[in-house]
Structure formats: structure tokens, C-alpha cells
Amino acid sequence: MKKVLYRKLLVDYLSFFFIALTSTSIVIWVFQAVNFLDIMIEDGRDYFVYVNFSLLNFPKIFSKVFPFALFFSLFYVTTKYELKNELIILWNFGINKIEIVNFIFKISLTLFLFQIILTSLLVPKSQDTARSFIRTSKINFLDNFIKPKKFNDTISNVTIYSEKKDKDGNMTNLYLKKIVNNKEFQITYAKKGKFKQIGDTPILVLYEGATITSINSEVTRISFSKSDFSLKNIETNTTTYKKTQEISSVKLIKCISSFYELEKKDFEIKVKNIENCSYSNMQNIIKEFYKRFIIPMYVPLLSLIPFLLITSAKENPNYTRVRVTTFLIGIVVIIFSETTIRFVSTISYYDISIMTIPLILLISLYLFLFNKFNINLKN
């Protein structure tokens, strides 16, 4: 009978957890996807890139929602069991409170491993793949990102302004500035203009204007009745290089271990093939390690916090206060787990002390519950 009760308890916990996790993640993903759509259109990317980029960001959202969804699910189901007197059935069949805690704690270790796999393997890989879609994609829809009476600097080193633009894409009173290098730039004015595609090359055709070129402070002016402004091999200001959060966990660990083991000169030689691994970026590297491997350690802790609810019977006048306090403790722990990343540095003993916090809190809470329920059992 105990196995049946444990199975029912597990199904109730996990089913509500799955519903809370997926529904919340989907809602957040939809809002984020709408934001991505605006960015992609302004950046001139096609819808294939947008769809793939949006979908590949779902694992990251999933991992962020995971701890809160777990805590909320355990809190909600435990409260429901208590209010409906279903916990009494467990006690009557000889299941004591510490056994329930141990049972959920074992399940939480499995969830902890799943979260580690998610944050250390799936999320970095999906983020890197999403970035590669932008990195390898062509810029289309040039018409879309030019808005009338708005300076547009989507294209790297190029600023475009149009006073008016009709539904056919015809623009009037255009201003373009192209920065070639630190010593050379071009400014072009034109009465009319329109984007055209010649083969694979997008071209902005300009009519009735002039180009002013400045090279080493020497200025020249050339008038034209028609001029083609080629946009071949253009790049946008959207980040295409690999970010720290997209580095594989193996390379991340190698970078950190080399940093603490080697002198600066030897370190730079050993890690030269690892993206973003440098002395100047070391704090971000360690913070990323914290996100992937330390924050998931709060999962078992968040699994135990809801069981503070059963330290007091619902008939107790202070039970409402216990419920509110338990919920607030869970929320504070979730916020704390995310904010402590700010204090991560490159000082090894300092970082170790921060990274051991979830383990210390977990042991402290478990010992408190163990002591509390064992005393009640003896009484």
C-alpha cells in the first residue's frame, strides 16, 4: 500500500510540475518570440532564421523557469494535500514525515542532474546553434528596416535616413553616412532612392545627389544624377561572434583550470583556441560556470523548503503564517541564487565560499527537518 501512496504522491507532484514548467515557459517564449520578430525584421533577416532562432532559445527559458516551477509545484501540491486531509492517509499507513522528505529528496537529485544536463550541455549548444543561424544567414528584406524620418544604423558602419517612403519602397530626401576607417568617411545626399536586387547583390539606387568624401581631412565633392550604393558583403550590428554563454562546458572548465594553474604567459598560449577565454574576460567565464553548475544545486534545496509546511498542523492558529513564511523563503532563495552571481570574482577562495552556499543551506534545512520530525515521532 505504501508503494501505491508513494506513486500517487509522485504522480501528483511531477504532473503539476510538468504543467507549470511547460505552460510558463511557453508564455515567456511567446513574448520573447514577438520581440525577436521585431529585431529580425529590423535586421533584414528572413523568417526561416527567425523561427529557428526563436525555437533554439526555448531550452534557455526552460532552464530559467525550472527552479521556480519545481518549488511552486511542491508548495501547491503539499498545501492541497494538507488542506484536504490527504496527508493523514499517509500518516495512518505508517509513513512518517521524514520518509516523505527523503522520498522527495531522492527525486530532487534526479531533477538536479537533469537541470545540470540542461544548463551545461543543451542550453550552450542551442545558443551556439541559434547564433550560427544569424552568422551564416544572408540579409534580406532591406526595404523593411528603413523607416521614414528615422536614422537607421542596422548595417555596420552605415547610417541611412529617409524623409519619406511610399508603399512601393520609393524613398525621398535620403542621407547616408559610411565610415570606411578612422581617417575616411563618406556622406551622400540624394533626392530619391530605392532598393534593388541585382543577382545576389542588394543595391541602393540613388538619384540626383552628391557624395562628400573625407580622407585625412581632405574633402572632395562629387555630384551625380544616378549612383549605385552597393551593399554586397554587408554586416549588421547584430552580434554574430560566439558569446561566453555559447562556449561548450568542456572548454569553459579547461579555461578556468588553466587560469588558476598557469602563469599568464603560459595561460594565453594554452587557451588561444578557446573563444572568449582571456584574462580580461575571466570573471564572465567564472560567472558562466556558476550559472551552469552551481545554480542547479539549489534544486534539491527548493525541493525541501515546501516541507516546512508539514512542521505545523493546519489546525494550528499560526498555520497561515507558516504557509506565507514558507512561500517567501522559497522566493527569497530563488532570487538569492540568481543575484549571488554578482559577487563571483576571480579570487578562488572567495568564489568557493559563494559556491558552497547552496550545499550548506541544503544540509542545514535537512538536519532541521530531520530533527523536527524525529522529535515529533518520539513524542
The per-residue pLDDT for 273 is 80
| Cβ(156)–Cβ(175) below 8 Å | no
For 169, 188, 200, 309, the CA distances from 231, given in Å and listed in that order, are 17, 15, 10, 64
Give all strands of the β-sheet with 158-165 in edge-to-edge order.
Answer: 158-165, 171-181, 184-198, 201-215, 218-230
Alpha-carbon span 271 to 293, nearest angstrom: 21
What single-letter amino acid sits at 96?
A: N
Q: Tell me the Cα Rg of the chain.
A: 29
The grid coordinates of residue 96 equal 512518517
Banded pLDDT at 95 (limits 50, 70, 90): confident
Three-state DSSP class for residue 152: strand
The per-residue pLDDT for 196 is 82
Banded pLDDT at 44 (limits 50, 70, 90): low
pLDDT surpassing 70 at residue 42: no
> Domain extents for the chain?
2-136+242-378, 158-230
Banded pLDDT at 376 (limits 50, 70, 90): low
pTM of the full predicted structure? 0.79
What single-letter amino acid sits at 101?
A: V
Pairing of strands 171-181, 201-215: unpaired
**Span 332-355, pLDDT tens digits:** 999 999 998 888 876 777 778 888
Give residue 320's Cα distance to chain centre.
35
CA dihedral over 202, 205, 206, 211, signed as positive or negative: positive
The per-residue pLDDT for 274 is 83
Give residue 83's Cα distance to chain centre.
37
Write the CB contacts of 248 (distance below 8 Å, at least 6 apart in sequence).
124, 125, 128
